[in-house]
Structure 1
Amino acid sequence: MIDFLFYRKTSAEVWTGRNDGTDLAVQRWHQRVILVDLLHGVIPLLSPGQKGIALIGFSCDEGVRRNGGRVGAKDGPAHFRKACCNLPVHFNEDAVFLDLGDVVCKDQDMEGAQHALAQVVAYALVNGYQPFVIGGGHEVAYGHYTGIDSYLNKTRPADSIGVINFDAHFDLREPNAHGTNSGTGFFQIAEDCKVSGKPFRYLPVGIQLNSNTKYLFDTAAGLGVKHIPAEGFMAANQEVIKGQLEEFIAGSTHIYVTICMDVFSSSFAPGVSAAAFSGLIPDAFFFSCLKSVMASGKVISMDIAECNPVFDQDQRTAKLAAALAFSMIT
């Protein structure tokens, strides 16, 4: 199913933490996670109606390197798992929480890694699991979306995918002399949609004026992409913002949620590939918006990108990523 060159299983030593007993009321994530070796293991079967989450690491920042950013996000999955070990279990008793290991990038073959990620995402979906992918650079988005699209083409080809991207950047760059990168993912998706005749449904949230050229704003407009700017993302505008999210969700059969950690102010998320002093604040309003997206019942898959431990301070970025995952999964 997956080329062994692009795969690494998760070591059992990664998932360790505080143990207050085995009773459900005191369990933590490290006690519930089931490690699966995709090269030799079998993914557990789910019963009808049973909830399943499949954690997938994307250990790649080749796209960031090509895009001139700060490398180091390839170690994001390990950084994230460490921050999640002691999270308390608040999901259902019969829910199945898997760790399917990491897709890795070998010899700067980002495209090969993206293809391998698409295979693992589709495999999880076929087996009834909701993927939760941890990057890695935001080149994760193209591989992730391709996996969702591949799965739907075989099962429900008429369904549409809406992408909600919490990000300071549009990531609608055209490939350059170095090929595709962490900033081209959604342009690539738009091109694929054009070829397949599917609608390109994309809503970036947290876009910063000082982080995107006028050309990128024009590109977004040409593709019919509306966005929610960072400067207007605040509780005072909650009715308008939640209305925009609800309208977008209503127009899509499925929602793919992707969060680039550079959408947040660097005081909350310093460990990213492209830090900025300003950005969204991960306050009660932000989590309320995120929960409303999850509550729609349409979220088919999720990821968090650009968690870079090289530049993290006091594990703030990793802990925020863990808090985001906790909110989305719970």
Structure 2
Amino acid sequence: MNTFPPVVLIGAPTDIGAGHRGASMGPEALRVAGIAHALKGRGLDVIDRGNLAGPVNPWLPPRDGYRHLEEVVAWNRAVLDAVYAELEAGTLPILLGGDHCLAMGSITAVARHCRERGKKLRVLWLDAHADFNTNVITPSGNVHGMPVACLCGYGPAELTHLGGASPALQPGEIRQIGIRSVDPGEKKLVHDVGLDIYDMRYIDEIGVSRAMKEALEGVDADTHLHVSFDVDFLDPAIAPGVGTRVKGGPNYREAQLVMEMIADTGRVGSLDIVELNPAFDKRNQTAKLAVDLVESLFGKSTLMRD
């Protein structure tokens, strides 16, 4: 039985924070792959709000360690307002990215909503990267490598105070899963902050099931679960359509188990799908896979269970 509120798709067609062009085509690729139809097939009411508008990508070099900071702020403000409005209306927002810098807007909105409603927040960050760079330690200046740091209060005021209060997130509210690419300076900061990371070495050692049980520990009926799904979380052998491929990610069955175990909690309240880059894809196979996994996140199971 469907227990979810209406699901709202919000497109954010920009690659403003990325190091490669093409993530701006992600929302349309997900639509072409049938995301609305697939979710309706799960018995969900689906509303597609279309795409948000924002500045074009000027494709300029970094200034003070940030590329396109002004434009990144504008896009994230648009995302924040759109996601917050949906949460206030009682719907379940799904952000169709776009690059992962947009999670600053969506998660800031979710965190504000949770504070105002007195709910606990748990963020599951499914990604190959920790995204905990700052302008001082970043090797590239690309802001899609900084959203977790900014959400935890490490970054420019324009981004750390997007929603007024800073930090939007406490490190204890986030679990990072699938990590396998961390820059040297970023690694030290992550350790200093005490971020809870389930990297691929750990997952290989203890298995996906146990890792997910640990990552979901404490999630209860009073918890809003936000899933920030970077498609490069997946092994590039099955998901080539990303700008920053990192070998050694979860395979198809492991990724399905991750999504199924999240679905089992019944607490998913919002979702990002980001970093899908059709320019690097093969016949939209990565978008189709992402849709397949999102179906599992909303209850489709390959297991013979009641």
TM-score by length of 2: 0.80
Hey, what's the Cα distance between the residues in 2 that align with 1:249 and 1:311? 36
Which of 201, 213, 226 does residue 243 from structure 1 map onto?
213
Equivalent residues in 2 for 1:186-205 (5 A)?
186-191=148-153, 192=160, 195=166, 199-200=170-171, 201-205=173-177
What CA deviation, in whole Å up to 9, does each residue of 1:225-256 have, x standing for no partner?
12111234359624531331232535983221
1:77-226 equivalent positions in 2, closer than 5 A: 77-84=27-34, 87=38, 89-92=40-43, 95-108=44-57, 109-153=71-115, 155-156=116-117, 158-175=118-135, 181-191=143-153, 192=160, 195=166, 199-200=170-171, 201-208=173-180, 211-226=181-196
Task: Please tell me whether the aligned partners of residues 152 and 168 of structure 2 are also in contact (alpha carbons under 8 angstroms).
Answer: no
Structure 1 residue 152, shift from structure 2 partner: 3.0
Q: Which amino acid aligns with 1:170?
A: A
Distance 1:89-1:235 versus aligned 2 partners, 3 A rule:
farther
Q: CA RMSD in A?
A: 2.7
Aligned partners of 1:248 and 1:218: how far apart in 2? 27
Amino acid at match of 1:161: L
Q: CA deviation at 1:313?
A: 1.0
**Is the contact between residue 14 and residue 23 of structure 2 (CA under 8 Å) also seen in structure 1?**
yes
Q: Which residue does 2:17 correspond to in 1?
A: 63
Instruction: Give the 5 Å matches for 1:248-287.
Output: 249=219, 253-283=223-253, 285-287=254-256
Structure 2 segments unaligned to the other structure (5+ residues): 58-70, 154-159, 300-306
Larger Rg: 1
CA distance in 2, matches of 1:76, 1:133: 11
Q: From the superposition, tell whether residues 124 and 313 of structure 1 become closer, same or farther in structure 2 (CA, over 3 Å).
A: same
- Over the matched positions of the two proteins, sequence identity in percent amounts to 24
Residue 205 of structure 1 aligns with an amino acid whose one-letter code is I
Partners of 2:92 and 2:5 in 1: CA distance? 8
Give the superposition deviation at 1:197.
Answer: 8.7
Number of residue pairs matched by the alignment: 271
8 Å contact 2:88–2:113 — kept in the other structure?
Answer: yes
Q: Which amino acid aligns with 2:294?
A: A
Q: What SS does structure 2 have at the residue aligned with 1:87?
A: helix
Secondary structure of 1:279 counterpart:
coil
